[in-house]
Amino acid sequence: MKKSRVQKQIWTMAVRNITRRPRRSVLSALAIGVAALTVTLLFSLIDGVKFDMATNLQRYTTAQVLVEDRGLVRAGAQALAYTVPEVSTLIPRLAARPGVVAVSPRITSGGSVFQDGDAVFFGLMGQDFATDPMQLKEFLAPGGRLPVAGEREALISSGLAQKLGIQAGQTLTVVTQTRRGSSNGMTFTLTGVVQPNLGVFQTPWLFTSFETAGRLTKLGDAATGLLITADGDPAAVAADLTPLVTAVSPELTARPWFQTSTTWGLMDLAGIIYGFIALIFCALASTVVINTMLMVVLERSREIGMLAALGMDQRDIRNLFLAESAVLSGLGALTGVVLGCVVAAVLSVTGLDYTEAMKGVNMGVSNIIRPQLLVQTPIITFVLATGVALVFTLVPVGRLRKLAIVDALRGEL
Res 1: pLDDT: 45
Query: What is the extent of the structural domain holding 127?
Result: 65-231
The answer to whether residue 281 sits within a structural domain is yes
DSSP H helices in 300-403 = 301-309, 314-350, 376-397
Res 297: pLDDT: 62
Maximum CA extent, the chain: 98
Task: Give the three-state DSSP class for 164.
Answer: helix
Distance of CA 261 to the CA centre of its chain: 13
- Pairing state between β 100-115 and 171-177: antiparallel
69 and 39 co-located in one domain: no
80 and 222 co-located in one domain: yes
Res 223: pLDDT: 95
Q: To the nearest 5 percent, what fractions of the chain are helix, strand and coil?
A: 55, 20, 25
The answer to whether residue 259 sits within a structural domain is no
- A 10 A CB-CB count for 1 gives 5
222 and 291 co-located in one domain: no
176 and 195 co-located in one domain: yes
83 and 162 co-located in one domain: yes
Res 269: pLDDT: 77
Q: Which of 244, 242, 268, 238 is nearest to 256 (CA)?
A: 238
Res 77: pLDDT: 47
202 and 335 co-located in one domain: no
303 and 399 co-located in one domain: yes
Task: Give the three-state DSSP class for 337.
Answer: helix
Q: Which of 130, 124, 127, 137 is nearest to 191 (CA)?
A: 137
Q: How many domains does the chain have?
A: 2
What residues are paired with 64 via a beta bridge? none
- A 10 A CB-CB count for 179 gives 17
26 and 126 co-located in one domain: no
| Cα within 13 Å of Cα(333), Cβ side | 26
Residue that finishes a domain, picked among 209, 231, 253: 231
Q: How far apart are CA 78 and CA 57, in angstroms?
A: 16
Do 341 and 378 contact (CB within 8 A), yes or no? yes
Do 121 and 204 contact (CB within 8 A), yes or no? yes
Q: How far apart are CA 54 and CA 52, in angstroms?
A: 6
pLDDT tens, residue order, the chain (413 aa) = 455 665 677 777 767 767 777 777 788 888 888 888 988 998 898 899 889 888 888 998 899 999 999 887 665 445 688 899 999 999 999 999 999 999 999 999 989 998 877 889 999 999 999 999 999 999 999 999 999 999 999 999 988 998 899 999 999 999 998 888 889 999 999 999 998 877 666 678 999 999 999 999 999 899 999 999 999 899 999 999 999 999 999 999 999 999 888 777 777 777 788 777 877 867 777 777 667 666 666 666 666 666 666 666 667 677 777 888 888 888 889 999 999 999 999 999 998 877 666 665 566 677 788 999 989 999 988 988 888 888 877 776 666 556 555 555 555 54
Q: How far apart are CA 211 and CA 192, in angstroms?
A: 18
72 and 221 co-located in one domain: yes
- A 10 A CB-CB count for 383 gives 11
Res 196: pLDDT: 82
The answer to whether residue 246 sits within a structural domain is no
Q: How far apart are CA 370 and CA 52, in angstroms?
A: 8
pTM for the model: 0.79
The answer to whether residue 141 sits within a structural domain is yes
75 and 218 co-located in one domain: yes
